[in-house]
């Protein structure tokens, strides 16, 4: 669920999918024995065609993985029945082999470089507000939003949502204090980047300012945000475009100002669902325009009234 971006290859010096947070500012294999009483999978074992709806997948947030932990949680529902009782390490090994089998060599190299890049940042950057890195309901969200998610019905969602334009939904979600802390954390990261003269990957090819939140440690928090608080909404309002199966994100902030980027041209987001959050302090302008859904032929063409 990411904002409309054009993903870049990682920079060569310590180089650096679909996003959750955008705003105005703005994997190691482990060898182990199969679980007791469970037969280890054979090499020709395949994934199920349809997911096991009754199976509750495990969390992989605390493991060092090549791909987002949420991808493994989602893929686990497709494991053959004999594998569901295995320990996490065995399941990860099986799922990772499948993912790597279908990943081109060039993409494998890119993934490894991005992983090395991210690890270098996380090893050297010292967070300013560590409480941001673990999702805390009471400190993050406003009460009406929490209640609506806990009730988990279309009626409860619509009680806090407005639809100013078809397919565009607005609602209050984050505590002001959380927004302040997140802004301070991003500013602290930018300060570290400048002092360390570290070349970072910007959110997309259209913005020269801003930062990818996942790259300095917020990936796990944003995964939980997507899975627990955004997916219930997108399952109801964006079911026809994959809203119920979101399994990855691209979380970032971008900055606009007189000495920053001053605007963002017409574009189509590279995501199933986009969550835009205004984190700005005091400012004027910043209007956001939606031109509706575009056909595949004109996804990336200029803005013209006669184009679908």
The tens digit of pLDDT for each residue in 16-47 reads 333 333 333 333 333 333 333 344 445 556 88
Torsion of CA 214, 219, 225, 230, to 10 degrees: 60
- In terms of pTM, does the model score above 0.85? no
- For residue 195, what are its two tokens? 């002092």
207 or 295, which is more confident?
Answer: 207
Could you tell me which residues come within 8 angstroms of residue 64 by beta carbon, excluding any fewer than 6 positions away?
27, 28
105 or 235, which is more confident?
Answer: 235
Neighbouring CB atoms inside 10 A of 160's CB total 18
State the angle between helix axes of 88-101 and 69-76 in degrees (0 to 180), rounded to the nearest 10.
100
The arithmetic mean of pLDDT across residues 102-123, rounded, is: 84
Q: Are 5 and 250 in contact (CB under 8 A)?
A: yes
Mean pLDDT of the chain: 80
pLDDT attached to residue 32: 34
**Nearest alpha carbon to residue 229 among 160, 152, 161:** 152
- For residue 10, what are its two tokens? 């990682």
């Amino acid at each position: 669920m990411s904002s409309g971006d054009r993903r870049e290859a990682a920079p060569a010096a310590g180089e650096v999918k679909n996003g959750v947070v955008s705003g105005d500012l703005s994997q190691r294999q482990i060898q182990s024995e199969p679980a007791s009483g469970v037969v280890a999978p054979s090499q020709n074992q395949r994934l199920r065609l349809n997911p096991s709806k009754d199976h509750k997948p495990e969390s992989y947030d605390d493991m060092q993985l090549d791909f987002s932990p949420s991808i493994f949680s989602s893929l686990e529902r497709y494991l053959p029945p004999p594998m569901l009782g295995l320990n996490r390490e065995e399941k990860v090994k099986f799922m990772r082999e499948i993912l790597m089998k279908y990943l081109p060599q060039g993409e494998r190299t890119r993934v490894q470089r991005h992983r090395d890049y991210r690890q270098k940042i996380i090893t050297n950057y010292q967070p300013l507000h560590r409480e941001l890195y673990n999702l805390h309901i009471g400190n993050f969200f406003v009460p009406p939003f929490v209640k609506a998610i806990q009730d988990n019905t279309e009626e409860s969602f619509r009680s806090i949502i407005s639809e100013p334009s078809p397919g565009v939904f607005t609602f209050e979600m984050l505590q002001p204090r959380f927004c302040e802390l997140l802004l301070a954390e991003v500013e602290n990261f930018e300060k570290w980047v400048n002092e360390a003269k570290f070349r970072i990957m910007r959110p997309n090819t259209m913005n020269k300012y801003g930062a990818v939140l996942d790259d300095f440690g917020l990936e796990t928090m944003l995964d939980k945000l997507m899975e627990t608080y955004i997916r219930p909404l997108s399952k109801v309002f964006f079911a026809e475009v994959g809203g119920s199966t979101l399994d990855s994100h691209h979380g970032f902030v971008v900055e606009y100002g007189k000495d920053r980027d001053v605007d963002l041209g017409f574009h189509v987001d590279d995501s199933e669902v986009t969550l835009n959050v205004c984190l700005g302090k005091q400012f004027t302008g910043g209007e956001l325009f939606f031109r509706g859904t575009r056909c595949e032929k004109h996804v990336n063409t200029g803005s013209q009234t006669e184009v679908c």
